[in-house]
Amino acid sequence: MSVDLEKILRPVDTPMKPYEPKYMMLASGEAVVVRQVERDEIPDLLKHVEPLLHVERDFYDVVSARVYSELLAHYKHRYQDQYVLAVQIDGELAAIVNGRQVNSKLGMSLHTLALRRGLRVGAHAFAAKMEYHIDTLGHDEVLIVAESPIGFRRWMIEYKLEKRFHIPHELGGVPSWALTRDLFDRARSSLVVGRRPVPDDLLDKAKEAILPPSDPPTPPLDPLAATRSMYDPTASSLMRQRWEMEGRSGDA
Ligand SMILES: CC(C)(COP(=O)(O)OP(=O)(O)OC[C@H]1O[C@@H](n2cnc3c(N)ncnc32)[C@H](O)[C@@H]1OP(=O)(O)O)[C@@H](O)C(=O)NCCC(=O)NCCS
């Protein structure tokens, strides 16, 4: 009985060509590998997404909460036609991107999450997923939204995305933007980088283990940053937390 119900609840994924891994050198001189993550590797990503739920800055909280939910649902077979790519520097997780196929001509971009800042790894990860949609899956266009001003700058402005405001995006029903094949072709020479095949040693290292990000975004040490959402107008409980963090008793 329960087995039959699982057959109804579990979506049947449409076969999709795999993403062919690539590598590139960052401005820092480090080699980066972009590769598709298998379903059984999802828990290795989730543990590094979870801490970002508490980072309000740059909308990491909203984006990571959504990414967590999408990845978990994908892992447990509750998401239709989702793919996930990881960006790794020497094994270390530097960015995650995901999306899904709506039909053979239309892609839906879900999220881009950078776990290492300041090196454009998020921008490279986004370019890789657009490459996957347009070149590998053969989509004519990809629907995209931005949750953060940095995202808006990176996608809408840099790629000169077209408005599709009559189409509510799957992410919150907000108006969509679109990357067309033509726009992608125009961006190729400046925004899409990377080489194939990935040398064996680099790919083996990436596949061996998803290592923790070495310098992920973290919440501010000063908890006063969160007072506005708490019932603590005098901030006394937060002052006590801060004193505890500083090793003081709190009754000074
Ligand atoms: C949007 C995002 C993927 C872009 O990643 P990215 O291309 O690697 O870029 P970064 O976030 O590292 O840097 C963005 C800008 O902020 C600056 N910056 C912000 N925090 C920084 C930090 N701690 N160190 C260095 N630079 C930082 C960078 O200099 C850069 O400036 P630039 O646009 O003039 O180059 C990433 O900011 C992110 O994951 N944000 C939170 C989730 C999000 O909004 N996702 C996109 C949803 S639409």
DSSP for 93-118, written as a single string? EEEEEEEEEEETTEEEEEEEEESS-S
Comparing C-alpha atoms, which of 157, 177, 159, 181 is closest to residue 168? 177
pLDDT at 225: 60
pLDDT at 250: 53
115 CA closest ligand 1 atom index: 39
Comparing C-alpha atoms, which of 217, 211, 206 is closest to residue 45? 211
Is residue 32 within 6 Å of ligand 1 at its C-beta?
no
pLDDT at 247: 81
pLDDT at 241: 78
pLDDT at 249: 65
- Please report which residue ranges of the chain form alpha helices under DSSP H: 2-9, 42-49, 60-75, 121-131, 149-152, 181-191, 200-208, 236-245
Q: Which residue among 117, 145, 179 has the greatest number of ligand 1 atoms within 8 angstroms of its CB, and so is best to mutate?
A: 117
Q: Please say whether the beta carbons of 122 and 113 come within 8 A.
A: yes
| Rounded average pLDDT over 151-166 | 98
Q: How far is the CA of 26 from the centre of ligand 1 (A)?
A: 15
Supply the DSSP symbol for 34: E
Q: Is 166 helix (H, G, I), strand (E, B) or coil?
A: strand
Partners of 32 in the beta sheet?
Answer: 24, 89
